Amino acid sequence: MLNNPKWITYLLIFIVLLFIPRILSMHDLMLFEYGITFAIVGMGFNLLLGYTGLLSFGHGAYFAAGAYTVAMIAKYLPQAYSLELLIPAALFFSMLLSLIFGFVCVRHTKIFFSILALSLSMLLFSLLFKLYHITGGSDGLRVPLPTILGISFKGIRRPEFLLGTYYYVLLGMFTVSFLVMKGIVSSPFGKALQAIRDNEVRAELIGIRVRRYRLYAFVISGMFVGLGGALWTFVNGHVTADLSHWVFSGEIVYMTLLGGFGIFEGPIIGAFLFTFLKLYAMGHTEYWMFVIGATLIILVLLLPDGIAGAFSTLWSKIRKKSY
């Protein structure tokens, strides 16, 4: 593994990431933590988009599933409110939801799949929105700090929590997710998904059970997104029904495309870029949606492979020239 230059780069980046809390300012670190959670989301989303060839416009639903698992446990089951229980619970509920929704969605492909995924996420949105005495509706729910391995963070302010312990929790979760996802896409299962993406009929003829594999990909993807959602809640401190709205799902698609869905690392880069771009736009103009929308249109028209894709094409061109 270590004789591969790629893995050495990963290792170097990981070492840099260990020291991030000392490098970045308080404000930037918080943004960076948002970026990490979205990087997990982007990886999960890309298993479906980049590797299976299915574009879901409703992955906000699984993000919301993870986030609301945390918020609901905080409200209704406070004695179980510790991180080591919350994460499995969030994974379980996002798995359950993506299993149910995925069962309906994977019967279709292409545009039909996208609209269905979108409509189902709006179903969850309308439930979260209408049942406000349980879910808080558009006001949402507040998320307190969890206990981690029995250590309570009562009396500690959120910024301090985020600056210290929680950053390393996030980094650990991200590293595990990264390794697991890397394992999935290079496993025979991952190769089968790519075969389905490239040619459905051929994949079916060599004996791959297409619909079932798509469902597996959907569920795994939903679980990663749910994990991202659960981790995100502690950074944000608040959940609202909007997480399941399709516009939020659109942002997930956007960050994946921004980085480039043809490359494994693309969505991760996209997640960080998007987080900083959105905040920068929101901080500088009232019309931040205009900026984000215009950037997206330019991206689609000029850089269809995303930022990472453009760099990798550039890189291979330079290497070709030097030979």
Alpha-carbon span 252 to 236, nearest angstrom: 17
3-state SS, residue 151:
strand
Kindly state the smallest distance separating residue 122's Cβ from other proteins, in Å.
5
CA atoms within 13 A on the CB side of 90: 32
The count of other CB atoms within 10 Å of the CB of residue 314 is 10
Report angle CA 232, 238, 239 to the nearest 5 degrees: 80
Closer by beta carbon to other proteins, 88 or else 304: 304
Find the part of the chain contacting other proteins (CB under 8 A) among 40-48, 134-142, 164-172, 248-256. 248-256
Find the part of the chain contacting other proteins (CB under 8 A) among 31-39, 141-149, 196-204, 285-293. 285-293
Closest among 155, 128, 133, 130 to 144, alpha carbons compared: 155
Alpha-carbon span 44 to 169, nearest angstrom: 19
Alpha-carbon span 152 to 31, nearest angstrom: 24
Under rule CB under 8 A, residue 211 binds other proteins: no
Number of residues that bind other proteins (CB under 8 A): 42
Under rule CB under 8 A, residue 49 binds other proteins: yes
Alpha-carbon span 189 to 42, nearest angstrom: 19
Q: Is 52 in contact with 289 (CB distance < 8 Å)?
A: no
Please state the φ and ψ torsions of residue 174, each to the nearest 5 degrees: -65, -45
Under rule CB under 8 A, residue 216 binds other proteins: no
Among 2, 207, 283, 286, binds other proteins (CB under 8 A): 286
3-state helix, strand, coil in the chain (%, to 5): 80, 0, 20
Kindly state the smallest distance separating residue 302's Cβ from other proteins, in Å.
10
Among 253, 269, 273, 308, binds other proteins (CB under 8 A): 253
Among 108, 158, 182, 211, binds other proteins (CB under 8 A): 108
Under rule CB under 8 A, residue 301 binds other proteins: yes
Alpha-carbon span 180 to 47, nearest angstrom: 12
Among 52, 98, 114, 244, binds other proteins (CB under 8 A): 114
Closer by beta carbon to other proteins, 29 or else 123: 123
Site string for other proteins, 67-86 (x = CB under 8 A): --------------------
Closer by beta carbon to other proteins, 80 or else 131: 131
Q: Is 129 in contact with 137 (CB distance < 8 Å)?
A: yes
Please state the φ and ψ torsions of residue 95, each to the nearest 5 degrees: -65, -45
Alpha-carbon span 83 to 169, nearest angstrom: 10
Q: Which of residues 119-158 bind other proteins (CB under 8 A)?
A: 119-120, 122-123, 126-127, 130-131
Closer by beta carbon to other proteins, 205 or else 302: 302
Kindly state the smallest distance separating residue 224's Cβ from other proteins, in Å.
19
Under rule CB under 8 A, residue 99 binds other proteins: no
Under rule CB under 8 A, residue 111 binds other proteins: yes
Under rule CB under 8 A, residue 284 binds other proteins: no
Find the part of the chain contacting other proteins (CB under 8 A) among 13-21, 106-114, 146-154, 210-218. 106-114
Alpha-carbon span 92 to 230, nearest angstrom: 11
Q: Is 220 in contact with 9 (CB distance < 8 Å)?
A: no
Interacting residue ranges for other proteins, rule: CB under 8 A: 49, 55, 57, 104, 107-108, 110-112, 114-116, 118-120, 122-123, 126-127, 130-131, 246-247, 250, 253-254, 257, 261, 286-290, 292-297, 300-301, 304
